Chain A
């Protein structure tokens, strides 16, 4: 069955910093919305529906905090719903907006959200509460320890070293230095990463994403609306999700369902998105990738999940410069999650940055000639994976 085309016509990213005391939560959402509306030269009154991107309420300390964002996104008396799939919320929200338009219910949909992770106190204490209260919550599990175990497994299977992880950080910080929206923009070195404070072996402070505060908004439109209004757009040609098991214990030991070293479900999500977009060989057909990788080690299996390298080969290809700006397939030219992570919108920023790249509007971190890109988002305990192919 043919799915109608859906275009991206506006993008807005706020300033991302550790703290944004200059803007309360609704104001932070509004900041991104204002930029996105200006970008597409539309008025809020024209928006028919809003999909609100908000991950755990606990990070904001407000239950159903999306309710407080209704006026900030101009949704009063309009279609409005919130999506939450954890870290993948941003890309899941875009997928929901895509459904609004592809179903024929709306022509113009706003997707918006914000987070104040840097102001939440301690995100890892909050994120421990994502696990089952009886079986896994009593363990010292956070998203860092969870993915440190993944790093150890990846090291065991594929021979990754701590220096390989540091090389990801060096690459992404160099990219972020070119991106004025990124939170961490100071270039670094292998030595600096290696000497940074150990958080959970082998993940060190510099291997970890920051706790960012900021917002993102995007405006999606139907093909007919874009044609009728003679608008410039890039197109979502592939969209998919896939899910792993909830219990970390199901990804380890002799009876594991999915190997914790690999992004099995992310690979499936990407393959589904590629199939929809008609991409057969991503190594040849994908020009740029913005892959959700909050820790340096996870970028390797994200690259492999996206089909840009075979299992275990991403570290070697990184050494050859394959994934840096100027390389054959730049990965995270924006600096990625490793340099900016306002959880509610992080996966939306991946799509926004991919869209800017294929639009030729990425500025200092533009990948030359990029026409087709892949974006991904991870949520839960490395459980929910979303993928989106965006084309010029």
Chain B
């Protein structure tokens, strides 16, 4: 069955308070919604439907969409929630526009610091019989993945530390006010060992953030041809199994599946983008993302990093925003990547805008050791097949 309607990102905003302890989640959601609508040149009255993504346990609510609904303008509107992942909210929002039932969609996700201990919250996602007793949280699962990769690829650790440094330098340029992690090699590789082989310097602490995007379909886009728009050329999303023991953590078969879906839809046979925004809870994951997207095989990872291929002046700049390596609102990090890739195409990326961006790719991941993978390809021009 063929996709037969355009959908584009026409507005975006990020909320990242300087003093998270003093910021109310509800007010943050209102602020980010208001800013995204303003960026799109719309009011809430122009919005047909809303998709949000929040995490009940991180928010301390049993059905967190309830709390969010008022702040994002959901009252009297059609609002759904995808708690499986922030990036899934984008996918559903885009599908709803493409269905022809909605002219516009607002997509919002957030990641607060309201719980006493995020690691304990994450451990609740383990099945209660076999894995709950283990000290298995998101970071531990990422560490297991890093371990397996280090074991099979010589000099990978050095490359990961260098890639982290490059992405942190991007973060300093992009968002200097909320990129606190170290940018020097000695501090990245050093510090307390959090989960072997991940040191405190290699990962960014959890941060409070929210992100909102406004999507529009054919009708709106045809009436606003001069509006800066990132057209969705392709989307793919897929999942691994939940049980880590059933997976080869060095591989991401679901990312390959998601990539194939997105590239087929976008008509891409040989991937070439101006930049990529990829999942990087650790830089090991960023490299896995690049391989899954068909942008760099693992046998070339080390050389490519040290050649500067992924740096801001490289052949394939990665995470010019700094990525989650610099600013890590854990639950909405995937939607942040999508928003950043869209922003670059729209020419709205601010201090870290790359010149003349025509095509970008975003990859978001959620769950233990990247269980859920989502790929979105953006273009400055409408999808060729639908022009």
Contact = CB atoms under 8 A, between A and B. Distances in A.
Interface of A: 1-4, 52, 55-58, 61-68, 70-71, 75-86, 92, 95-96, 98-107, 126-127, 129-130, 132-133, 222, 224-225, 239-247, 257, 265, 268, 272, 276, 379-381, 383-384
Nearest to A272: B78
B220 to A, nearest CB: 12
B242 A126 contact: no
A67 B95 contact: no
Interface stretch (B97-105, B190-198, B202-210): B97-105
B314 interface: no
Contacts of A106: 1
Contacts of B55: 64
A57 B57 contact: yes
A299 to B, nearest CB: 23
A244 B78 CA distance: 10
A247 B81 CA distance: 19
A223 to B, nearest CB: 10
B166 interface: no
Contacts of A132: 67
B239 A80 contact: yes
Nearest to B80: A92
A62 B127 contact: yes
B69 A246 contact: yes
B239 A103 contact: no
Contacts of A58: 56, 62
Nearest to B7: A103
B140 to A, nearest CB: 15
Interface stretch (B155-163, B171-179, B253-261, B304-312): B253-261
B124 interface: yes
A365 to B, nearest CB: 30
A107 B1 CA distance: 6
A104 B84 contact: no
Interface string B75-103: 11111111111001001101111111100
A64 B261 CA distance: 25
A177 B315 CA distance: 69
Nearest to B50: A243
Nearest to B84: A82
B239 A76 contact: yes
A105 B78 contact: no
B95 A78 contact: no
A174 to B, nearest CB: 33
A243 B76 contact: yes
